[in-house]
Amino acid sequence: MSAPESPEPSHGRRVSLLTLGCARNEVDSEELAGRLSAGGWELTAEPEDSDVVVVNTCGFVESAKKDSVDTLLAASDTGAKVVAVGCMAERYGAELAEQLPEADAVLGFDHYPHLAERLGDIAEGRAVASHTPADRRTLLPISPVERPAAAEQVAVPGHAGWGPRVLRERLDDAPVAALKIASGCDRRCSFCAIPSFRGSFVSRHPDEIVAEAQWLATQGARELFLVSENSTSYGKDLGRELGGTRALELLLPRLAAVDGVDRVRVSYLQPAETRPDLVRVIATTPGVADYFDLSFQHSSESVLRRMRRFGSTDSFLALIDQIRTYAPEAGIRTNVIVGFPGETEDDVAELERFLTAARLDAVGVFGYSDEDGTEAESFDGKLDEDTIAERVGRISALVEELTTQRAEDRVGQTVEVLVENVGDEVTGRAAHQAPEVDGECLVLDAGTAKVGELLRCEVVDSAGVDLVVRPLETAGGLPGTAP
């Protein structure tokens, strides 16, 4: 979406942004920060010092919704005006506003282009009508190739446009930054409500992404974490002249070549759409992490069909074999849902067979729960809470054992670690470890290592999914601090 003209300044009012949920929300918050700064608002990290606190909520699962509500309530205790934005606000709108009078406004994605003005209204005591939810899939054409032009008229968070300046402001100085390549999803997984409030899939123009990557590099980002709801669909709406379904394969080398960027990481891959050429590019392109975040969700064919997904234990294992043919030590992670309606003990055993054979680096295990407005909400064959909890515990125990073994197998290997924290301990992440979800590396004998430095290290020990490493030399070939 094109950037709007800058609104009138808000006369130095102060605003803080609190972000919950995934990396996509982090990008959206930094876009909002850019919009608010351009509109004259002063950004502050302390809600207590703010005139307005904006909470970018998550509405994915019940625990995330509870965290969002708790954060809104805590923000109201500061005495500042409180505004809810983000997925939960978009999904529930006026209903949330009615149930949470502590929030002064609940604003949806359509408010984002003019958020500076709306906050000005709220700060001055003028009422702003809360968002009225609607199915955002109806806002863009059904045909993907018709969407880029139509998206210019639709508020798509994280697609704020580019030109003389990137409409984004970093909210931290971390050496890793999320970079949105697309928004929305065309899949119809029976358990997922995301497409209804995030909308149909729409890619960003590759030149726009590269321009933002270059800007992020000037802001200290050494690793770019590419995010979307479904990265394997990137480019299907862009046309052949921009690569079409091969657009991500063409984009990755361009991003890896950006001056100042040491590593590019792709997230949110759909197994059924992960093409052999994309596997090859991710696994073999210098500067692109050989890391595969694959959304398997389950491996029993019968459960996957009820989920409106595709695949099986054997097809998933074949994909993993393909990855490891190119990069034997590639990092592979996934999430799985257990206790889905109709799941049998045989289905759980099939999932156990897959996980045991797959040797994954990290696995998130979630118990099924109904989500408002999803197809699965009406399914029969619901399992009781005790059965779901038992299966979550069983699969989690298996996953802990398997991922611990996988980490142990890395002892003696050489990894490149991006330093992220320097203090009493020096920690960072190797190529197979994504931010926050996949473990980290404890760097021994780090000497004068600095945040943002890339260290070539030997793995000397492991602790669960975490690794203990010692520098051999920096990525640039300078002597390390190890004896």
Residues 6+ apart with CB under 8 A from 433: 331, 361, 439, 440, 441
Tokens standing for 269?
A: 């891959």
Terminal CA-CA length for the chain: 53
CB 67 within 8 A of CB 20: yes
CA torsion, points 20, 22, 23, 24, in degrees to nearest 10? -100
| Beta-bridge mates of residue 266 | 226
189 known ligand binder? yes
The Cα–Cα gap between 340 and 297 comes to 10
Q: Among 13, 22, 27, 84, which residue's Cα sits nearest to residue 54?
A: 84
- Compute φ and ψ for 14, nearest 5 degrees: -110, 140
Count of all residues that appear for the chain in the document: 483
Buried b (16+ CB within 10 A) or exposed e, 301-321: bbbbebbebebbbeebeebbe
Burial of residue 326 (number of CB atoms within 10 Å: 0-12, 13-18, 19+): middle
The Cα–Cα gap between 151 and 147 comes to 6
Buried b (16+ CB within 10 A) or exposed e, 209-245: bbbbbebbbeebbbbbbbbbbbbbbbbbbbeeebbeb
DSSP 41-65: PEE-S-GGG-SEEEEEE--SSHHHH
Angle (nearest 5°) at CA 121 between 116 and 126: 165
Q: CB count, 10 Å around CB of 249?
A: 19
CB 416 within 8 A of CB 475: yes
Kindly report the three-state secondary structure assignment for every residue of 232-281: HHCCCCCCHHHCHHHHHHHHHHHHHCCCCCCEEEECCECHHHCCHHHHHH
22 known ligand binder? yes
58 known ligand binder? yes
441 known ligand binder? no
457 known ligand binder? no
Binding residues for [4Fe-4S] cluster: 22, 58, 87, 185, 189, 192
Binding residues: 22, 58, 87, 185, 189, 192
